[in-house]
Copies of this chain bind each other. A is one copy, B any other.
Amino acid sequence: MDALVIHAPGDLRVEDIPTPAVGAGELRVRVRTGGICGSDLHYYQHGGVGTIRIQQPMVLGHEVAGVIEALGAGVTGWSIGERVAVNPSRPCGVCRFCQRGLQNHCLDMRYYGSAMRMPHVQGTFRQEMVIQAGQAHRLADGVSDAEGAMAEPLAVALHAVNRAGALLGRKVLVTGCGPIGAMVVIAARRVGAIRIVATDVMAQPLRKVATLGADETIDVAGQPNALARYGAEKGQFDVLFECSGNQHALRAAFDVVRPRGVVVQVGLSGSEFTLPFNTVVAKEFDLRGAFRFHEEFGVAVTLINQALVNLKPLVSATLPFRDAGRAFALAADRSQSMKVLLSFD
Binding site for B on A (CB under 8 A): 50, 93-94, 96-105, 107, 158, 161-163, 165-169, 187, 190-192, 194, 233-234, 247, 250, 259-260, 265-269, 272-278, 280-291, 295-296, 298-299, 302-303, 306, 308
Contact = CB atoms under 8 A, between A and B. Distances in A.
Contact of A281 (B100, B274, B289, B302): B289
B277 A194 contact: no
Q: Could you say which of A105, A194, A272, A289 has the most chain B C-beta atoms within 10 Å of its C-beta?
A: A289
Q: Give how many copies assemble into the complex.
A: 4
Contacts of A277: 247, 250, 265, 269, 272-273
A274 B247 CA distance: 10
Contacts of A299: 168-169, 194
Contacts of A284: 104-105, 163, 288-291
A133 to B, nearest CB: 15
Contacts of A50: 278
Contacts of A298: 169
Nearest to A283: B289
Given A277-B272, A281-B289, A283-B289, A99 B101 contact: yes
A288 B289 contact: no
Nearest to A286: B288
Given A269-B278, A275-B275, 4 more contacts: A169-B296, A187-B192, A194-B303, A194-B308
Contacts of A285: 287-289
B166 A191 contact: yes
A146 to B, nearest CB: 21
Contacts of A274: 272-275
Contact of A280 (B158, B190, B265): B265
Contacts of A291: 281-284
Contact of A308 (B104, B192, B233, B281): B192
6 contacts: A96-B233, A166-B191, A247-B277, A281-B289, A282-B289, A284-B288
Given A281-B289, A282-B291, A302 B93 contact: no
A90 B61 CA distance: 39
Nearest to A159: B284
Contacts of A267: 281
Contacts of A103: 99
A316 to B, nearest CB: 26
Nearest to A50: B278
B283 A286 contact: no
A106 to B, nearest CB: 10
B286 A276 contact: no
Q: Could you say which of A94, A99, A163, A269 has the most chain B C-beta atoms within 10 Å of its C-beta?
A: A99
Contacts of A260: 102, 105
